[in-house]
Amino acid sequence: MDKLTVLLGQSGLANLGIGQLTMIIIGLVLLYLAINKRFEPLLLLPIGFGAILVNIPGAGMYAEPIYAADGHLEAAGGLLYYVYSVGIESGVFPLLIFMGVGAMTDFGPMLANPKTLFLGAAAQFGIFGTIIGAVWMSSMGWMDFSLADAAAIGIIGGADGPTSIFVASQLAPDLLGAIAVAAYSYMALVPLIQPPIMRALTTKAERKITMTQLRVVSKREKIVFPLMVLVLVAMFLPSAAPLLGMFCFGNLMKESGVVERLSDTAQNALMNIVTIFLGLAVGSKLSADAFLNVETLGILVLGLAAFCVGTATGVLMAKLMNLMSKTPINPLIGSAGVSAVPMAARVSNKVGLENNNQNFLLMHAMGPNVAGVIGSAVAAGVLLSYLG
């Protein structure tokens, strides 16, 4: 009987706190959204499952290794601890993800309609607006964020998970977990967050605007463009070179047509492996003690504000361009200026079809979507140059 009592006392159920239970429920909600609602399951499913694993009392999934005074390893760390340390803290996973995204990206829509670069640039306003907001909250005494912390939080507005992780690892390592969770959560919830903003800022007539078919972009243009972007940006902003370099390298493998095996690996096998471990690592930061605090909630609020502002400014820029252009632009594609590739472009297309079932905006929306990736990487380079 005594052994049974000891065994029960050591069980996870007996040691389960209200905070851990809350986070397990949140993990289950994320799994529900991934499986039942299909909200970016590639992201939400591993994040939700990682959240459940890390909140099971006594499982030690994120336990840190224990070393003796002489440096001898007495107890190994948990799996999620090593995954997070090797992939997230080092910045390796974000760069590998950028290479895979580059290999899956087609610059054609953006090159066919260069005006969409302005939409991608406008959507980055959420980043800098949120930096100002974070500094203001600190000045009011509500939070205690330094300028570097504010910059790391603001990058969430680009809706670019890899960039958010990379910048946070350089500027605010102590906030990296909360920033990673916020960035990937909002990326996954694009279909919920963006449509109300898009509808509020556009009229039904604007949402029905049909755009002309894009011109065919030559293979030479597609090969030269990533090289030109890398050289120009790297010369002015060397700190942006790691992100843009891996992105352009992945794209060059795809467009060159001479390394199909490498391009296929970057797009599929490698991308899938990294996504699995990155999702679990992000989920591992959803532990009750690290997540349920005022600072993390402040980051979530600021991140959501950044994402909403970025969506709104992209739509408003498209409306402004329509006042100065003879060729109309459907303002819905402006929301795709955030870097959530290709989720934001799909949302633009979906809302467009709701108002005009012959209005196929996906390829048009990919222009600002790809421009947003470049824009967020450039913004990250600017912040790292001044604050890194």
Question: Which positions of the chain have pLDDT values less than 50?
Answer: none
Please give the model's pTM, rounded to 2 decimal places: 0.86
| Cα(222)–Cα(136) distance, integer angstroms | 43
Give the DSSP per-residue string, 307-359: HHHHHHHHHHHHHHHHHH-SS---GGGGGGGSS-TTHHHHHHHHHHHHH-TT-
| Cα(193)–Cα(121) distance, integer angstroms | 20
- Predicted confidence at residue 8, as pLDDT, reads 61
| Cα(177)–Cα(23) distance, integer angstroms | 15
- Predicted confidence at residue 39, as pLDDT, reads 77
Per residue in 194-229, pLDDT tens? Answer: 999 999 999 999 999 888 877 888 999 999 999 998
Cα–Cα distance list, 263 to 34, 103, 188 (Å): 28, 6, 25
